[in-house]
Amino acid sequence: MSYTRKAFTMIELVFVIVILGILSSIAVSKMSVTRGDAVIVKGKGQVSAIRSAITLVRSKNMMRGMTNGGNPTHLDALTSTTSSDGDKLFDYDSNASDSSKKILDYPILSKSKDGWRKVAADKYIFNAINTDVNFTYVSTTGSFDCTQGTATPAQKLCTNLTQ
């Protein structure tokens, strides 16, 4: 008598489901870490771009003969001291025909989670992995630095964003 098998047994199906469950739990945990790392790398690039843009504006203004140091007075054109989601940040005068009044060619849009938001005049917060890092722009020196305490997750993120 020949026996031909036409279906999977219940034990085979259970083993396949268990293996798929294990693989998916590993993949989900790896993907969540990767997303957080991507937000940090994006923020690091944006901090670098903002600092470079400030230096570029200062250099252009010094070449034009400005005597006050040439630093931009503000980093965005918002009339309010705080930003809402979707507001343009770091575009001092986005409508200016004179390119010397623009900080970034493409402004960064404000986001309350995993991004930038403005909280006061020349004060910004970058959020990544549920951690806020405070940044302050000082027009007299042209510095754009984070202002955090010590040995906190925010300080570690600040160090990671600025190095």
pLDDT tens-digit series, residues 6-15: 777 889 899 9
Q: pTM higher than 0.85, yes or no?
A: no
Q: Quick one: the chain helix, strand, coil %, rounded to 5?
A: 40, 15, 40
Would you say residue 21 lies in a domain? no
Would you say residue 72 lies in a domain? yes
How many C-beta atoms surround the C-beta of residue 49 within 10 A? 16
Would you say residue 92 lies in a domain? yes
> What is the reported pLDDT for 152?
82
Q: Which residue has the tokens 């798929």?
A: 20
Would you say residue 31 lies in a domain? no
Q: Which of 73, 139, 123, 124 is nearest to 101 (CA)?
A: 73
Q: How far apart are CA 111 and CA 79, in angstroms?
A: 18
- Convert the pLDDT of each residue in 31-71 to its tens digit: 766 777 888 889 999 999 999 988 888 888 888 777 666 78
Where does the pLDDT of residue 1 fall: very low under 50, low under 70, confident under 90, or very high at 90 and above? low
Would you say residue 19 lies in a domain? no
CB 67 within 8 A of CB 58: no
pLDDT over 70 at 111, yes or no: yes
Would you say residue 133 lies in a domain? yes
CA dihedral 145, 163, 72, 46 (to 10 degrees): -110
CA dihedral 139, 143, 149, 155 (to 10 degrees): 140
Task: Identify the domain containing residue 58 by its residue range.
Answer: 41-162
How many C-beta atoms surround the C-beta of residue 98 within 10 A? 7
pLDDT over 60 at 96, yes or no: no
Q: How many domains does the chain have?
A: 1
Structural tokens at position 162: 């600025």
CB 113 within 8 A of CB 138: no
Looking at per-residue confidence, does 21 or 91 come out higher? 21
Structural tokens at position 141: 């020196």
Would you say residue 7 lies in a domain? no
Would you say residue 94 lies in a domain? yes
